[in-house]
Amino acid sequence: MFVPMAYYAFPLHRDRFQTFYFKGSQVRSLPECTVMLEDVDRAVTLNRSFNMLVDVRLDPSAFACRSRVQLSAAAFDVKPESVECNLSKGSAQQTERVYFNVLPKEAGTQQVVFTHSGDGGGASRTMEFTVYEYPHVPPDVSFWFPRIDMLFGGMLTVPWWIELFRKRSKGKQ
């Protein structure tokens, strides 16, 4: 007598995290990993990318952990936007390094929100970056550069100064 394979299948159920488990077994959520964000320079230049490094580590007292790290910013291009990290003592890798490549798109003072979350909760941190349009010139001052150039643009060129000195030297003779 042939018995179909479905007859021997165990009943599987799904929890809110879309994890399959056997009926009657207890589902345990994984603790959150230890997440550390490396400090970076908060003064950056427009259209020059920089990296933000995040270390995700397995807590020595835990057998396994799961964390999702995310970097979101409206005035920046961020790649990747979020990364899921699953670490366990059984694997060779108990630390994961995540690099976020960040490219500023707008000058001025901009906000970046770093969030990490796991099954047990999470936390977020808001950082403020000053994005310079011109190197070493504060964004408040660089606002006036185009207007000054419009008024005095001809006088700020080298040929204008050479012509001025020639006229003065001819006038003295």
- Residue 65 tokens read as 């952990």
Phi, psi of 117 (to 5 degrees): -145, 155
The label of the residue with tokens 């060129």 reads 157
Cα–Cα distances in angstroms (integers) from residue 80 to residues 11, 46, 123, 172, in the given order: 38, 19, 19, 67
Stretch 16-39: mean pLDDT, rounded?
64
Distance separating alpha carbons of residues 122 and 84, to the nearest angstrom = 13
The topology (CATH level 3) of 29-134 is Immunoglobulin-like (2.60.40)
pLDDT of residue 144: 65
CA distance 62 to 88: 8
Asked if residue 60 has a cis previous peptide bond (ω within 30° of 0), the answer is no
* pLDDT, greater one: 62 or 7: 62
Domain residue ranges of the chain, discontinuous segments joined by +: 29-134, 138-168
Q: How far is CA 153 from CA 3, 51, 88, 164, in A?
A: 90, 37, 63, 15
**CA separation for the pair 102, 87 (Å, rounded):** 25
Measured CA to CA in angstroms, residue 22 lies from 9, 10, 28, 93, 143 at distances of 10, 7, 13, 28, 63
Is the pTM here over 0.95, yes or no? no
Tens-digit pLDDT profile for residues 114-133? 998 876 678 889 999 988 88
Q: What is the pLDDT of residues 44-103, one digit of tens each?
A: 888 889 999 999 998 888 888 888 999 999 999 999 999 998 888 877 788 999 999 999
Question: What is the band of 17 on the pLDDT scale with cuts at 50, 70, 90?
Answer: very low
